[in-house]
A and B are shown apart, each in its own frame.
Chain A
Amino acid sequence: MSAPGRICLRAAMKCQKCERPATFHITELEGGKHTELHLCEEHARQYLTQGEGEPGAAPTIAGALAQQLAVGQTAEELARLDQRSCPVCGITFYEFRNQGRLGCPHDYVAFEKELEPLIANIHGETTHKGKKPKRGAGGTQQRTELIRMRREMKESIQQENYERAKELRDEIKRVEEAKE
């Protein structure tokens, strides 16, 4: 019942099962051991969907991504998609696919179109039903601005743009205090 750990796209390697180029590089993590697999699109699809008939297999990001491939996205389309990034945390879709984890709450907005089929695949639904938080249920969008500003501040310091970093620090402080 092993779940494929990560998938990512790389170039110039042959598929382990045929002569075609390997466009999928899968790292299996099992019992702390890494096993690498290099497969073409077709064999990757076969490999990633093979566990689906198993009893009790939990849904995985890799499995859902493979399903997405199975319903018609080509490796080229995915490669284009991979370059898109979130304006708030900076994560690319490629990085998300690589690690199976999103970078910040805003990714659900930034990658809405890309995530929608994935979410539908995993849950069979796309709309939340159930409880809401006691406070701030609608304020997530504004608060993610803090994530972006902190990132920009860090980058400004790295670029030795201390003027901008100071502006951002004051702005962050102002937003944080207004929020309390």
Chain B
Amino acid sequence: MNAPERNNVELNDLTNTTGEWLRGNGPQADIVMSTRIRLARNLAEFPFISRASDQDRADIEKLLRDRVLRIQEASGELLYVNVSDLDRLDRQFLVERQLISREHAEAQGARGVVIDSGERISLMINEEDHLRIQCMHSGLDVQGAWEQIDRIDDLISEQVNYAFHPRLGYLTACPTNVGTGVRVSVLMHLPALVLTRQLDKVFRSLQKISLAVRGLYGEGSQAMGDFYQISNQQTLGRSEKELVDQVTDVVPALIHYEREARDFLIKESQQTLHDQVSRAYGILRTAQTISSEETMHLLSKVRMGINLGLIADLPMLTLNELFIRTQPAHLQKISGVELNTADRNIERARFLRRYLNREEDGNGGKN
């Protein structure tokens, strides 16, 4: 059986694509990068992961892999990646693409992920729950993402016996997810609210209506590059539609605040802002060594500059691609060698110079 080799080949293909969540072409894509919904599901006849033996995990993985691959999904051909067979770099690569979680990457034992070629859906097997179904759509598309994930969930539930309690709903390993098991999450780029120091105020009002704010890579992660995920906390006592509507209703207000803050910055301090954006762009095009954090920070400024018309020669898609291609695992996979931190920073700077100066000269990618 040569499944792992096949996985690696197909994983390497992904380095050339952007992935749905960074495509930046959905509704309100200048501020909302992507919409993601996940469902936590468990099989009734197995213990939860923390209590599962190696044999249980292997049985769960085999059963779910078989059943999930039976479903027909419109958004592309399904690919199974055996995560336990992957090396550390490939696992990190999938984390950076948001196809698996950090916990799934670092876990032990039989586990895998089913993804579609468009990278819109990912189904993690043996994460914290037996099955984590995830749908990602570009821009603000909560309704579209919900319709897709609801359909996938229905198809799978015809094939397996989900653990379900008449009063408590879908049973999950952690009581924070019990009930619907749904997390609706919108990834927003809010640089102007950060610059005008209004973010805390906004987040406080979100917390009052029990919405959570997280960094780019979920729980506990830093808010890199002014990206924030807004998501529901409550999963029990409200229907999926109510939870979807709650997020759908609040995001336009946040978009409005961010636009107001951007207008304010343009009106009150255009020169300072233009200077900051141009300097950020300048560093990215000329630096000789640069960390991932600094890159994210500067790319965020440039992204806002493009949206405000302060930078005209850089397409948004190119910029969005850089957010992912400059991350550690992507950089190493693209350059084809494993690098330590110092060498990565040099390689990242070289990559950025080549990429950004090419866009400007239009000379076809050679430096």
- Interfacial residues, chain A to chain B (CB-CB below 8 A): 1-3, 30, 55-61, 64, 88-91, 99-105, 108-109, 115, 118-119, 122-140, 143-144, 146-147, 150-151, 154, 176, 179
| Chain B 162-179 per-residue mask, 1 if CB under 8 angstroms from chain A, else 0 | 111111111101111011
**B53 and A154 within 8 A (CB):** yes
Contacts A55-B206, A104-B51, A150-B56 known; A129 to B239 CB distance under 8 Å?
yes
CB distance from B333 to the nearest CB of A (A): 22
**A61 and B207 within 8 A (CB):** no
Q: How far is the CA of A102 from the CA of B174 in the complex (A)?
A: 6
Q: Which residues of B contact A138 (CB under 8 A)?
A: 164, 166
- Interfacial residues, chain B to chain A (CB-CB below 8 A): 42, 44-51, 53, 56, 128, 150, 153-154, 157-158, 161-171, 173-176, 178-180, 182, 200, 203-204, 206-207, 210-214, 219-220, 233-242
Q: How far is the CA of A64 from the CA of B173 in the complex (A)?
A: 16
Main secondary structure of the interface of A (DSSP, over half): loop
Q: How far is the CA of A151 from the CA of B213 in the complex (A)?
A: 40
**A115 and B175 within 8 A (CB):** yes
Minimum CB distance partner of B42 in chain A:
A105
19 residue pairs of the A-B complex, CB under 8 angstroms, read: A59-B233, A88-B47, A102-B174, A105-B165, A108-B165, A108-B178, A119-B168, A122-B233, A127-B168, A128-B167, A128-B178, A128-B237, A129-B238, A132-B164, A134-B157, A136-B44, A138-B166, A140-B163, A147-B46
**B179 and A128 within 8 A (CB):** yes
**A136 and B174 within 8 A (CB):** no
Q: How far is the CA of A150 from the CA of B210 in the complex (A)?
A: 40
Contacts A108-B168, A119-B236, A127-B237 known; A55 to B47 CB distance under 8 Å?
no
**B238 and A133 within 8 A (CB):** no
Contacts A56-B214, A140-B164 known; A30 to B178 CB distance under 8 Å?
no
CB distance from A152 to the nearest CB of B (A): 13
**A128 and B169 within 8 A (CB):** yes
Q: How far is the CA of A105 from the CA of B53 in the complex (A)?
A: 16
Contacts A58-B214, A61-B175, A135-B161 known; A144 to B236 CB distance under 8 Å?
no
Q: How far is the CA of A179 from the CA of B160 in the complex (A)?
A: 10
Q: Which residues of A contact B128 (CB under 8 A)?
A: 101
Contacts A130-B238, A143-B161 known; A119 to B45 CB distance under 8 Å?
no
Q: How far is the CA of A130 from the CA of B177 in the complex (A)?
A: 14
**A103 and B237 within 8 A (CB):** no
Query: Of A101, A119, A133, which is in contact with the most chain B CB atoms at under 10 Å from its CB?
Result: A133
Q: How far is the CA of A137 from the CA of B236 in the complex (A)?
A: 17
Q: Which residues of A contact B233 (CB under 8 A)?
A: 58-59, 122
CB distance from B121 to the nearest CB of A (A): 18
Q: How far is the CA of A130 from the CA of B47 in the complex (A)?
A: 24
Q: How far is the CA of A128 from the CA of B175 in the complex (A)?
A: 13
**B48 and A101 within 8 A (CB):** yes
Minimum CB distance partner of A91 in chain B:
B51
Contact of A105 among B44, B179, B234, B236 (CB under 8 A): B44
Minimum CB distance partner of A138 in chain B:
B166
Q: How far is the CA of A154 from the CA of B51 in the complex (A)?
A: 13
Known: A109-B165, A122-B176, A129-B179. 10 other contacts (CB 8 A): A55-B204, A91-B51, A99-B50, A101-B174, A103-B48, A105-B165, A119-B178, A129-B238, A137-B166, A147-B46
CB distance from A101 to the nearest CB of B (A): 4
**B213 and A56 within 8 A (CB):** yes
Minimum CB distance partner of B41 in chain A:
A133
**A126 and B47 within 8 A (CB):** no
CB distance from A80 to the nearest CB of B (A): 21
**B48 and A104 within 8 A (CB):** yes
Minimum CB distance partner of A148 in chain B:
B47
**B179 and A130 within 8 A (CB):** yes
Contact of B158 among A126, A135, A146 (CB under 8 A): A135
Q: How far is the CA of A105 from the CA of B41 in the complex (A)?
A: 11
CB distance from B45 to the nearest CB of A (A): 4
Q: How far is the CA of A26 from the CA of B238 in the complex (A)?
A: 32
**A61 and B214 within 8 A (CB):** no
Contacts A122-B176, A144-B44, A154-B53 known; A134 to B165 CB distance under 8 Å?
no
